[in-house]
């Protein structure tokens, strides 16, 4: 696959179905086998992402091949955040839905997507970017400078 030409394009509001498909596939790849849960998530997520694409709160990037077929994607959710002593911007970025179709993995496409998203964040003065890493993606994110934090979580 490395001899194929790939390019990056931004997602549009018309891409909600592709983004939703990538999200479902990502969760399936991480071990979620309950198709009822995956179906329900897909319906709810498609509405969520459609709404946020429409107001530029969710920004997406795709890798496309020479035939303009999407083979990988990733998203950035722009989140209003209280100013802190180190960041008065009131905005954070959350990267998620990083997904590459199996036939195109290990070609550096996720890295290219991450570099595009991080360049956007730098250009738009988004100083803090977070993500949750899968086991498969952890080494990529660490190589880009991501560090583990002290975040804690409680499911209610």
- Express each pLDDT in 125-143 by its tens digit: 999 999 999 888 999 999 9
DSSP one-letter code for 14: G
pLDDT category at 155 given cuts 50, 70, 90 is confident
- Express each pLDDT in 70-107 by its tens digit: 999 999 999 999 999 999 999 999 999 999 999 999 99
pTM of the model: 0.92
CA-closest candidate to residue 92, choices 100, 84, 104, 101:
84
Q: How far is it, in rounded angstroms, from Cα 156 to Cα 150?
A: 20
CATH number, domain 7-143: 3.40.630.30
Assigned token pair, 47: 């509405």
pLDDT of 153 reads: 82
Annotated domain spans of the chain: 7-143
Buried b (16+ CB within 10 A) or exposed e, 24-59: bbbbeeeeeeeeeebeebbeebbeebbebbeeeebb
Average pLDDT over residues 16-33: 96
CA-closest candidate to residue 121, choices 143, 92, 147:
92
Buried b (16+ CB within 10 A) or exposed e, 63-77: bbbeeeebbbbbbbb
pLDDT of 2 reads: 52
pLDDT over 60 (residue 1): no
Q: How far is it, in rounded angstroms, from Cα 60 to Cα 16?
A: 10
DSSP one-letter code for 102: G
Q: How far is it, in rounded angstroms, from Cα 120 to Cα 124?
A: 6
pLDDT category at 66 given cuts 50, 70, 90 is very high
């Amino acid at each position: 696959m490395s001899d194929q030409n790939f390019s990056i394009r931004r997602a549009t509001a018309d891409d909600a179905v592709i983004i939703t498909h990538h999200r479902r596939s990502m969760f399936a790849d991480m071990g979620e086998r309950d198709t009822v849960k995956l179906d329900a998530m897909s319906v709810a997520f498609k509405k969520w992402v459609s709404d946020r694409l429409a107001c530029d709160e969710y920004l997406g990037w795709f890798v496309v091949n020479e035939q303009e077929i999407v083979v990988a994607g990733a998203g950035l959710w722009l989140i209003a955040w209280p100013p802190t002593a180190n960041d008065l911007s009131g905005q954070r970025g959350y990267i998620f839905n990083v997904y590459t179709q199996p036939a195109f993995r290990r070609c550096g496409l996720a890295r290219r997507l991450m570099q595009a998203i991080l360049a956007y964040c730098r250009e738009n003065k988004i100083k803090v970017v977070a993500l949750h890493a899968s086991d498969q993606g952890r080494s990529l994110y660490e190589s880009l400078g991501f560090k583990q934090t002290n975040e804690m979580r409680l499911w209610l």
